[in-house]
Structure 1
């Protein structure tokens, strides 16, 4: 029930966001839907499903407070190590600041993330590079701080 409500809120905000933007609306909608799916997966405590939005490749690049990580599996392992349980994961909220094309089948996203947790809230900013790979939008580079 809570996931359904959260999904509705995300879709409502998605429609408001898309109506204010220019560019390929379908591409932007698909990317924002993946972000919404990631939010739901995270908030359900499912890091592996959260990772579905990422390119499952050794070429995936993740840049965080510990430096550069290369590869989907290593990124997953780092997430699981940093967020070992649902209480540590908290409730995730994304705010997209900007999303625009930077090349053919490639988008750049700037945003904010926030985790509400009993042990203390945390948050920061992120930049994502999205690329169309085998007919699906995937995050190929993530810089989160």
Structure 2
């Protein structure tokens, strides 16, 4: 009986931690949207792991490293008109363990002449400074 009580306590504890992680990840992504919609790509990039091992896959290319991803954003979105207004629709946050998660969602930009949109899969890692995107595959 004692083992069962301990098991239930562990499950409830993990559930509470999973809820906290889920909320922290949602806040991180909402902060990204706010930064983007303010025209602040540098703040948008704070959600990404600032490391040469960051992987970013988009437009048929694989980029490695925070700097490479940042430069691609600056090149592809040189001004507020190109940036448009961003929104995310998070479809899934799957906590793999206490420190890693996968997020699947949809993105959309609303711009003067078009409304590009697509799907993304993110792998996030919890570091001492909080959750960061370590792998981004956006189509």
Report the Cα distance in structure 2 between the residues aligned to 1:22 and 1:96, rounded to whole angstroms. 20
User: Unmatched 5+ residue regions in structure 1?
Assistant: 1-20
Aligned residues: 125
Answering whether residue 115 of structure 2 is matched by residue 117 of structure 1, we say: no
RMSD (CA atoms): 1.5
**Alpha-carbon deviation of 1:73?**
0.6
What pairs with 1:54-73 in structure 2 (closer than 5 Å)? 54-73=48-67
Q: Deviations over 1:22-45 (max 9, x none)?
A: 971111111100101000000011
2:84 to 87, 90, 109: 90
> Residues 23 and 104 of structure 1: is their aligned pair in 2 closer, same or farther, counting only changes over 3 Å?
closer
Secondary structure of 1:24's counterpart equals helix
Structure 1 ranges of 4+ moved more than 4 A: none
Report the Cα distance in structure 1 between the residues aligned to 2:16 and 2:117, rounded to whole angstroms. 28
> Which structure is larger by alpha-carbon Rg, 1 or 2?
2
Report the Cα distance in structure 2 between the residues aligned to 1:81 and 1:22, rounded to whole angstroms. 41
Report the Cα distance in structure 2 between the residues aligned to 1:33 and 1:104, rounded to whole angstroms. 17
Q: Please, what TM-score do these two structures have when normalized by structure 1?
A: 0.82
